[in-house]
Each structure stands twice: as structure tokens, then as C-alpha cells.
Amino acid sequence: MIRVGIIGCGRIGQVHGLSVEKNRACTLHAVYDPGEANARAMAQRFGANVAVSPEALFAETAIDLVVIASPTDAHEAQFLAAARAGKAVFGEKPIDNNLARAYATVQTLRGIGTPVMLGFNRRYDRDHATLQAEVRAGAIGRVQSMQLASRGPNSVPSPQYLRSSGGFYRDKCVHFLDLIRWISGEEPLEVVAMGSVLADVSVGEAGDVDTAAIVVRMQSGALAHIDNARRAAYGYDDRIEVFGTQGVIESQRLRSGNVMRIRDNHVCLDGLPRNSFERYADSYAAALDAFVEKLQGKAVEVPGIEDGLMAQVMAEAATLSAAQSRIVRISEVLAKL
């Protein structure tokens, strides 16, 4: 049995608590959150202990795996402390919003050598995974272009969240930057990005954009276009299309139900999930399951620290491109590390 400790009992911490509960090879041993009420509520919900500090949780010999679900500014120290304590680490993205610090953290983690997985849960969506496997198997021939759209939910994050998020490219687009490397199996060459504030003025007041387009040229010349919006009035809408020399493959938008009504001259289908937690509910559990299988010695590929770092390098290039209205080569960002 793998005993788990969760650091951070907010939105994503609760999601990971559910994933641990669903996995028969795991048990939730302890949780920590500086908000005592959060920690107590989560411990009660999942039948776990409350750790009095992160250090106490890391020092708990019964714990094998630490899930880091704290705010981004706590990640770096907690990734390192958990790894130094000999724990396997399932950490939420990003490693750190400052790329130089994230790189230094990755270098230290490489030296420690403990298993680390980054929470790029979209890789574990059933349909996205089918698309990736078929593209990699050559089912559509040579990849020419990829379109990844993600819009929603029907609200924007609080100004406080936006100010500490590192910006749209680092916070949300980073998931799709990771997906294009994973789908194509290729590294990126150059990035161009543009952003606008069109849906909610509060996003602009917090110094961020709510609508963005990113184009990435991969090493083969294949072009990936990412179309991301913080808000969509109609729900949570994610889609991927990959176009190749032999055909096209799509992971289509997932609706919240599959009921169709026809009346008079109109067809009415169920709409979309309300947010990413509903849209990707199964993928969070599947991500943890994959890491547990890896820890059990199975040959399972999971997004590790190098993937986390590369996605951040691409997000950095996109942030720079949008700020300076120019194409940014990945080598330029890597040269600064």
C-alpha cells in the first residue's frame, strides 16, 4: 500500500484527495494546509491525519508519496524538501513561475533522483490519449499542423489569483504547450504569441490577457496553433485536431451528457461541462494511477521534471513574444538558463 501525504487542501488538493481515495493501491495518510479549517475538513472527508507543518509531513516515515497542491509560490521549496526526505513527488505545475529558479530546482531534483511527476492531467484524458497514440503510430502520416482550442469556464479567476498566476501563458496555456510536445514527440523551435483583453476588464486590470493565440513551429516544421480563452459564455470547451499527410484526427469537444431532443424544426443537445474540473474529472484520477503504477515498477511513461521544465520554457517564450511582438526562438530562452 502506498501511503500519501497531500500538501494544500484547496481546489486541486481536494481533487487529488478523491484520486487517492479511488486508487486501491493508495491510502491518504496525512494532509497539511496553513488554513487549519481546510486541513481539518479534508482530513475528515478522507479519513486522514492533519500534519502540523509541511516539515512534519515530510518527516513522517509512513508516507511514501507527497502530492504538492499548494499555491505556486510554495512549490519550489516543497518539491525539494519532499524529494530530500526521500518521498516520491506528484507535484502540481509549475515547478516555479521564475524560470531560472525552476531550472535550478530541476537540476537539484535530477541529483536527488527521486521519482517526480508533474500534474499535466490532460495527457490522461481518454480521447486525447487515443489521439496521441494514433498520431505517434503514424496513422495520419506526417504531422503538418495541430489546432488546440481551450476556452472557459464561464467566469475568470479572482484578481488575486491572476496576479500570482504568472500570467495566462504560464498558468493555462502551459498545459497545451505540454500537449503539443507529447502528441508530436517533437521539440519546439520557435514561438509567436498574441493576447488581448476582450471578455473581462478585471483581467486587464490585473495585468493579464483573457484571449490568446500561440503558434509554435516544431523541429520538423509542423505548426501548432493554440487558441486559449479564460472565459467562454457556454461552458468549458477543449478540442484537439491534428492534420497530417494521410488524414486528420480529432479529440472532439466533450459534452456533459449525450441526450438529444428534436422539436419542431430544432435539435437540442446537452451542453458542455461547467469547468475544467468537471471536463477532466477522470483524467486527474488516471494521472495519479499512472504514477502509482510507475512506483510499483511498471513501464509507464509520465510527465517528469524535464517535461515540466520544457513546457515552462515554451510558456516563457510565449510571454516574451507577446510582450515584444516578435518571434522568439526556444534556443534564446534556453541560452539564458
Ligand X SMILES: NC(=O)c1ccc[n+]([C@@H]2O[C@H](COP(=O)([O-])OP(=O)(O)OC[C@H]3O[C@@H](n4cnc5c(N)ncnc54)[C@H](O)[C@@H]3O)[C@@H](O)[C@H]2O)c1
Task: Provide the binding-site residues for ligand X, judged by CB under 6 A.
Answer: 7-13, 32-35, 38, 54, 69-72, 74, 92-93, 119, 121, 276
Q: Check: CB of residue 235 under 8 Å from CB of residue 273.
A: yes
Q: Which is nearer to ligand X, 103 or 124 (CB)?
A: 124
Q: Which is nearer to ligand X, 12 or 140 (CB)?
A: 12
Min CB(220)–ligand X separation in Å: 28
Grid coordinates standing for 226?
493554440
Min CB(15)–ligand X separation in Å: 8
Min CB(197)–ligand X separation in Å: 21
CA dist., res. 292 & res. 26, Å (int): 8
CA atoms within 13 A on the CB side of 320: 17
Min CB(126)–ligand X separation in Å: 16
Q: Which is nearer to ligand X, 38 or 228 (CB)?
A: 38
Four-residue CA torsion sign, 75, 76, 82, 86:
positive
Q: Which is nearer to ligand X, 8 or 273 (CB)?
A: 8
Q: Which is nearer to ligand X, 4 or 143 (CB)?
A: 4
CA dist., res. 222 & res. 242, Å (int): 10
- Residue 331's contacts (CB-CB under 8 Å, 6 or more residues apart) are none
Min CB(246)–ligand X separation in Å: 33
Nearest partner of 32 among 15, 51, 58, judged by Cα: 51
Helix 174-184 crosses helix 126-136 at what angle (to 10 degrees)?
40
Min CB(276)–ligand X separation in Å: 6
Q: Which is nearer to ligand X, 7 or 209 (CB)?
A: 7
Min CB(13)–ligand X separation in Å: 6
Which phi and psi (to 5°) does residue 251 adopt? -100, 105
Four-residue CA torsion sign, 182, 304, 5, 3:
positive
Q: Which residue is nearest to ligand X (CB)?
A: 10
CA dist., res. 287 & res. 283, Å (int): 6
Q: What angle do CA 125, 131, 132 make, to 5 degrees?
A: 85
Q: Which is nearer to ligand X, 9 or 322 (CB)?
A: 9
Helix 174-184 crosses helix 305-324 at what angle (to 10 degrees)?
120
